[in-house]
């Protein structure tokens, strides 16, 4: 009789006595479906790793990209073990390992959203977000999450190595507690964000990362909602009465529900975070600590270089525009000195901070109203040099060797020629406060007659 069936002998592990989500995998259809998820995790895991590596190369530290890469690796191992389990359905050890990895990977995404919610709270309410009570609340929730993960793993493992009904009952209670907390923790970022939005702010939002704050909040809420859907489904079916393994499995234990609520919701979040570039949106300054630390966020979108880069500072009104900066002595480089002739109304001056020479161009209020200012940093300055001015560069040696220069109060000027006439070819400001009108506006280097005369004079000297 069925009630008098012989019990399994030995220390275990034993085959499961009740049905579980997904059931026992088979080659068809589990292997093709699992292979598709395996490929997706490989592709997007590599994508997150590339983002993590490129961010580190330019000094943009964002450890969650590395955590996402680690999560994809766990899921790659999970898919591989499930394929192996489908090919060897009677190997209980493979089945145990596959089920344990299902629990481990999910918490990584939960922890990411929990930290992103914390950053939003600290940006909107710095004094509350950086307070000690909130810090204790944040860390305690993480500690409980890790504790529940350990409870789920221990309960699942113990169920395979005992046949005692009382121990199975205890294991089921532990699984219910762990699944419930997982669902609550997955939904917690939504509660925290809405609570932060509902509390009136006493000061402006400390923006972090790139993009609008409301867009970043929407991204977090969508991700948390998708993960909460999967966690809530798993917790809900855990409260249903156990189904014997030999009885027909209900719909909520089907393979479709298993792949949708376990792996599909996760891969959607992985793809979504890669698409929106969460490594830029949720980045905060390194070493941020205390209210006001988010306001100094500087998301570097270019790779760091040791050499100085072209910069451009525009100050409207009576202003000067830095067109080029030289890291060496300007008077030791004839080509660099002649470079100043490329730009109209330009002067050479020494930078007060670095000591390097730079070309500056005088500016009027054509950029906007007086008093307004705009700064463009780490950008390639638009050159004012045109091909029809190429003769200036070719004649640089003649200008420097053939023209006599003298150091005057206004800068370096040309001496008078042999006929007693003084012809100004430009002025180079040497002092720390260069004039903005030192270049004679009547000089037009584009005119062919003057170019020829300068050439002829250079040859005569």
- Indicate whether 33 and 105 sit together in one domain: yes
Query: Is residue 430 one of the residues assigned to a domain?
Result: yes
Torsion 26-30-35-41 (CA) sign: negative
Same domain, 317 and 226: no
Is 411 inside any structural domain?
A: yes
Tokens of 246: 């030999």
Total domain count, the chain:
2
Provide DSSP, 92-130: HHHHHHHHHHHHHHHHHHHHHHHHHHHHHHHHH-HHHHT
What Rg value do the Cα atoms of the chain yield, rounded? 35
Choose the final residue of a domain: 296, 329, 357. 296
Residue 36, in any domain of the structure:
yes
Shared-domain flag, residues 236 and 374: no
Is residue 376 in a domain?
yes
Asked if 401 and 435 sit in the same domain, the reply is yes
CA atoms within 13 A on the CB side of 318: 4
Contacts with 312 (C-beta within 8 Å, 6 or more apart), sequence order: 321, 322, 323, 376, 377, 379, 381
Q: How far apart are CA 403 and CA 396, in angstroms?
A: 10
Asked if 288 and 395 sit in the same domain, the reply is: no
CB 209 within 8 A of CB 282: yes
Whether residues 275 and 326 fall in one domain: no
Is position 6 within any domain?
A: no
Query: Is 218 within a domain?
Result: yes
Q: pLDDT tens digits for the chain (461 residues)?
A: 334 444 556 667 888 888 888 888 999 899 999 999 999 999 999 999 999 999 998 888 899 999 999 999 999 999 999 999 999 988 888 988 988 888 888 899 999 999 999 999 999 999 899 999 999 999 999 999 999 999 999 998 888 888 888 998 999 999 999 999 999 999 999 999 999 999 998 888 888 888 899 999 999 999 999 999 999 999 999 999 888 888 888 999 999 999 999 999 999 999 999 999 999 999 988 878 888 888 764 455 545 444 444 444 444 444 444 444 444 444 444 455 555 555 555 666 656 555 555 666 554 444 343 443 444 333 344 444 444 444 444 444 444 444 444 445 544 444 444 444 444 444 333 333 444 443 444 444 444 555 555 555 555 55
Q: Is residue 305 part of a domain?
A: no
C-alpha span between 134 and 117 (Å, rounded): 12
CATH number of the domain that residue 189 is part of:
1.20.1070
Q: Count of alpha carbons within 13 Å of 252, Cβ hemisphere only?
A: 13
pLDDT at 398: 47
Query: Do 263 and 383 belong to one domain?
Result: no
State CA 377 to chain mean position distance. 20
- Looking at the fold, whether 350 and 216 belong to one and the same domain comes out as no
Specify the pLDDT at position 349.
64
Residue numbers of the domain that contains 42: 11-296
Question: Does residue 232 share a domain with residue 161?
Answer: yes
In a domain, 4, yes or no: no
Q: Is there a single domain that holds both residue 216 and residue 342?
A: no
- Domain end: 234, 264, 296, which one? 296
Q: Are residues 288 and 335 in the same domain?
A: no
Answer with the one of 241, 267, 296 that is the final residue of a domain. Answer: 296
pLDDT at 216: 94
Q: Are 58 and 198 members of one domain?
A: yes
386 forms beta bridges with none
Q: What is the pLDDT of residue 338?
A: 56
């Amino acid at each position: 009789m069925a009630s008098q069936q012989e019990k399994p002998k030995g220390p275990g592990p034993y085959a499961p006595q009740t049905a579980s989500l997904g059931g026992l995998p088979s080659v068809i259809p589990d292997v093709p479906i699992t292979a598709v998820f395996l490929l997706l995790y490989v592709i997007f895991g590599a994508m997150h790793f590339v983002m993590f590596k490129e961010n580190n190369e330019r000094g943009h530290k964002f450890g969650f990209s590395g955590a996402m890469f680690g999560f994809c690796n766990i899921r790659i191992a999970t898919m591989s073990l499930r394929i192996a389990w489908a090919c060897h359905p009677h190997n209980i050890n493979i089945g145990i390992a596959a089920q344990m990895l299902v629990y481990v990977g999910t918490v990584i995404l939960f922890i990411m959203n929990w930290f992103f919610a914390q950053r939003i709270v600290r940006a909107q309410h710095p004094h509350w977000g950086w307070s000690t009570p909130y810090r204790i609340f944040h860390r305690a929730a993480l500690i409980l999450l890790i504790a529940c993960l350990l409870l789920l793993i221990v309960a699942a493992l113990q169920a395979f190595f005992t046949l005692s009904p009382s121990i199975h009952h205890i294991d089921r209670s532990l699984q219910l507690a762990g699944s419930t907390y997982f669902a609550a923790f997955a939904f917690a970022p939504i509660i925290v964000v809405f609570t932060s939005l509902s509390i009136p702010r006493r000061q402006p939002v400390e923006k972090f990362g790139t993009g609008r704050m409301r867009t970043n909040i929407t991204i977090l809420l969508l991700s948390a909602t998708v993960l909460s859907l999967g966690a809530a489904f798993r917790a809900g079916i855990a409260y249903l009465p156990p189904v014997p393994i030999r009885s027909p499995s209900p719909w909520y234990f089907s393979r479709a529900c298993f792949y949708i609520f376990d792996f599909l919701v996760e891969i959607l979040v992985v793809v979504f975070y890669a698409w929106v570039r969460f490594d830029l949106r949720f980045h905060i300054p390194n070493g941020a600590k205390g209210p006001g630390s988010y306001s100094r966020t500087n998301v570097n979108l270019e790779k760091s270089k040791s050499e100085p880069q072209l910069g451009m500072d525009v100050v409207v009104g009576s202003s000067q525009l830095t067109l080029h900066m030289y890291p060496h002595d300007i008077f030791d480089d004839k080509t660099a000195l002649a470079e100043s002739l490329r730009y109209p109304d330009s002067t050479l001056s020494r930078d007060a901070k670095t000591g390097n020479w730079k070309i500056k161009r005088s500016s009027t209020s054509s950029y906007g109203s007086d008093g307004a200012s705009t700064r463009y940093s780490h950008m390639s300055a638009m050159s004012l040099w045109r091909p029809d001015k190429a003769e200036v560069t070719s004649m640089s040696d003649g200008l420097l060797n053939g023209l006599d220069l003298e150091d005057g109060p206004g800068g370096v000027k040309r001496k008078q020629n042999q006929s007693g006439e003084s012809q100004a070819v430009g002025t180079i400001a040497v002092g720390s406060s260069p004039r903005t009108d030192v270049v004679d506006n009547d000089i037009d280097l584009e005119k062919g007659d003057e170019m020829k005369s300068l050439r002829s004079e250079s040859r005569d000297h």
